[in-house]
Structure 1
Amino acid sequence: MSHLTSYPTATHDLVVIGGGSGGLAAAKTAARLGASVVMIERAELGGTCVNRGCTPKKLMWCAAAQQQGLKEMAKVGLTDKPPFDFAALRRRSDAKIDRLNRHFEEDLQQAGVHLLRATAEIDEGGQVHAGGDIFRPGKLLLATGARPRALDIPGGELAATSDDVFRWADLPGRLLIIGGGYIGCEFASIFAALGSEVQLMTDGNRLLEQFHAPAVDCVQAGLEKQGVTIGFGCKPVKIDLNGAMFKVSFDDGSIQYADRVIAAVGRVPNTDNLGPGLQGIAHAKTGALAIDERFQTSIPGIYAIGDVANRLPLTPVATRDGACFAAQHFGAGADQINLDLVPKSAYTIPPVAQIGSLSEGQDDGEVIANLASDVLDDGTAANSFFASTFVDDILTGVALVNHAAPEMIAPFAALLASGATAEALAAVTGIHPSFAEETVGP
């Protein structure tokens, strides 16, 4: 780094490396609290969520859910299913993301944050080198996010990741997805609805291990009714390009062919390539940086939020943690949010959502016919699901599978936080006919 020392060194209250959801929230909040803030971002503002994650995924899911509805209408003779223009979806999605990128930059400008487009490196003295400048931060906040985990097998580089998928301009005819978590199941459902022939393979014995197993059974049934073929207990060992097709060999001796392959095998926190100043920094078992209740890492003066830190790798958590960090260090103080009250959802068709803990066997829940879709039901429509768990008559967990599940789960989180009782939920009457009425009342 000595070749950079001829440049002047600027001192700021806060230097933020990474312009994703967490970094943006921290930088804007700190600046509005009077801090001198520099944000360093080498790519697009908004991070993974906006550019290569939940935003383009949700846009794809909305189109896929509409297309799935048209398929169901066509099956019962109510309409002809029109062709789908995947390239047009990509153009509309890109335009939406471009507007968000510009909005984030305007927000930073209005808050008084200095934005530097560059790659950052931290030297042994804790100074930050970026774009030919050197910054001496009062506090240094790492918000560098995470990236898709690559397949560590021969030919693994031939598989696309979620980053690649959102750049596709056309729809694959045959798609093979490796991985049964959030990303794998969401892409399987989306691409099946859009018209691809989809196969999903996982080395586990079930899908979506983070969710209530009976709810996942309902999700799996929905995937299978969409035409997704699912294989369990097998690991890929090699990928070859066989002419225009990909040939994927598995450890059980099976071979699958596809036009494209997606590796959906998890994500890796971006803790590397930040320079010698992070040498010896402590990591948690997840691979993310270990932090305390004030987001400080094992190196004094260096803090971390978002997917690079050992918290839940969810956008709302990163955003809340960014604002919390700024309030702790430049404002009147704040406590970290309770991760037990953060709901989760996977955007399959229909989606699954969950809050709290559910004790399987106490109340496994029930599959519920979707009254709103009965007119379209030709015997293959996916059903809904509801489960709730109570301990000493107090609500401790809820799992939902329904198109409304991601919207409904936050009010259930509020009920859980407030200590709602079984009696309170039984006293409520829902709207008829609706899925929501199945979640309340006696």
Structure 2
Amino acid sequence: MARKMLIDGELSKPGEEEAHYDFDLFVIGAGSGGVRASRFSAQYGAKVAICELPFDPIGSEVSGGVGGTCVLRGCVPKKILVYGAAYGPELEDARNYGWEVNEKVNFNWKKLLHKKTEEIVRLNGIYKRLLSNAGVKLFEGEGRVVGPNEVELIQLDGTKISYSAKHILIATGSRAHRPDIPGQELAITSDEALSLEELPKRAVILGGGYIAVEFASIWRGMGSTVDLCFRKELPLRGFDDEMRAVVARNLEGRGITMHPCTTLTKLEKTEGGIKVHTDHGEVILADVVLVATGRLPNTKRLNLDAVGVELDNMKAVKVDEYSRTNIPSIWAIGDVTNRMNLTPVALMEGTCFAVGIHPSAAEEFVTMRSESRRISSNKPKTNL
């Protein structure tokens, strides 16, 4: 769905009395989209509040953290592990180029994990300062929508307080999905995989997307035995088929055991580890089973049904091309809308939202866009 900006869409009509609200904008969820929308709105002169669950490296229904999934439990910590895993094969290759590497090279998983946690704690602090410097009021607690212009905040001590807002923006993102199979509670998601206390010696991964493929590469690069199970003939569904085939060969070349056209049917806890059953009758013993089978929108605890905000069959918030719900004062951006679930998309949606609901910002944007077009049209033509 194409995103649009509601230019001057919220200007009051002549003679219409402006209602008084505690805030011009209240944002629920301080991930990439929510932080961007609140910061930009505040910089355009709006009185803005944002709420987020308390920080924890592993997200849950009662924990989160300013910065959101990508910063705290996604791209950033994952890249740290990817970089760490890359050194194993490089050290092995170094022997062939004259480097005398000791026969046994030790790897300290706990040290890498500690450095990863230090980094996301640092980033969590940076995002808080970004909000503070922009003049955004940050509340730690769980936000619920209790009316078209009212948010209830459940504070950390359990007490509740309500705030009114001209606009409410839902930006609560998504959470990893667990398949409905016997023993599913024995599996972990990408959240827990980024914070495991011990490096698994044997890992089974269910999923063929980039999260599954990346964790397979990470753990294999650190010396683990990895079995990758996925439903299609090749991993990375939706990508170019030739590239998928190359990736599959490279994964096998790294020593990852591939199980195409395979899913898991049951997990069992045993003394020797987790017994993993596949739909082909195979049984694999693992220390860790990672399920990377997609994510679901975080709408369960927002009270949206009671307010009348429409959700789709995946429980994602339904919005129009302006990111507006069926309730005119309530909006939603990012993964909670289940459109294109990527951080840069959430950032741009946050920008468009902030510009669209503030007339002065809209005028500034239109001026900037016109100037940009004028400069582009005056550029000399080149033949490349």
Q: State the TM-score, normalized to the length of structure 1.
A: 0.71
Which stretch shifts more, 58-67 or 9-18?
9-18
Alignment partner of 1:38 out of 35, 45, 49: 49
Unmatched tracts of structure 2, length 5 or more: 1-19, 55-64, 367-382
Q: Secondary structure at the match of 2:362?
A: coil
Maintained 8 Å contact 1:124/1:276: no
Q: Is 1:118 the equivalent of 2:141?
A: yes
Residue number in structure 1 paired with 2:8? none
Maintained 8 Å contact 1:151/1:157: no
Looking at both structures, which has the greater relative contact order when contacts are Cα pairs under 8 Å and sequence separation is at least 6? 2
Quote the Cα distance in structure 1 between the aligned partners of 2:86 and 2:217: 9
Q: Secondary structure at the match of 1:282?
A: coil
Alignment partner of 2:323 out of 275, 292, 295: 295
Quote the Cα distance in structure 2 between the aligned partners of 1:307 and 1:79: 48
Quote the Cα distance in structure 2 between the aligned partners of 1:322 and 1:309: 13
After TM superposition, list the pairs within 5 Å mapping 1:292-331 onto structure 2: 292-330=320-358, 331=361
Residue number in structure 2 paired with 1:210? 238
Maintained 8 Å contact 2:149/2:166: no
Decide whether aligned partners of structure 1 residues 23 and 276 sit closer, same or farther in structure 2, where only a CA change above 3 A counts: closer
Q: Secondary structure at the match of 2:45?
A: coil
Maintained 8 Å contact 1:144/1:308: yes
Alignment partner of 2:284 out of 253, 256, 260: 256
After TM superposition, list the pairs within 5 Å mapping 1:385-404 onto structure 2: none
- CA shift, 1:79, in A, is 4.0
Maintained 8 Å contact 1:123/1:277: no
Alignment partner of 2:24 out of 1, 10, 13: 13
Q: Which runs of 4+ in 1 moved over 4 A?
A: 276-280, 284-287
Residue number in structure 1 paired with 2:201? 173
Unmatched tracts of structure 1, length 5 or more: 1-8, 336-422, 425-442
Residue number in structure 1 paired with 2:183? 155
- CA shift, 1:204, in A, is 2.0
Q: Is 1:108 the equivalent of 2:131?
A: yes
Maintained 8 Å contact 2:333/2:349: yes
After TM superposition, list the pairs within 5 Å mapping 1:239-250 onto structure 2: 239-250=267-278
The C-alpha deviation readout for 1:293-338, integer Å capped at 9, x for no partner, is 2210222211111111233111111112112210111221669xxx
The C-alpha deviation readout for 1:214-251, integer Å capped at 9, x for no partner, is 01111111111110001011221110011140001112
Alignment partner of 2:151 out of 90, 106, 128: 128
Quote the Cα distance in structure 2 between the aligned partners of 1:84 and 1:263: 25
Q: Is 1:200 the equivalent of 2:228?
A: yes
Maintained 8 Å contact 2:52/2:66: yes
Q: RMSD of the TM alignment (CA)?
A: 2.1
What count of residue pairs does the alignment treat as equivalent? 330
- CA shift, 1:289, in A, is 2.1
The C-alpha deviation readout for 1:110-130, integer Å capped at 9, x for no partner, is 100000001111114541110
Maintained 8 Å contact 1:10/1:134: no
Letter in structure 1 aligned against 2:31: G
Q: State the TM-score, normalized to the length of structure 2.
A: 0.81
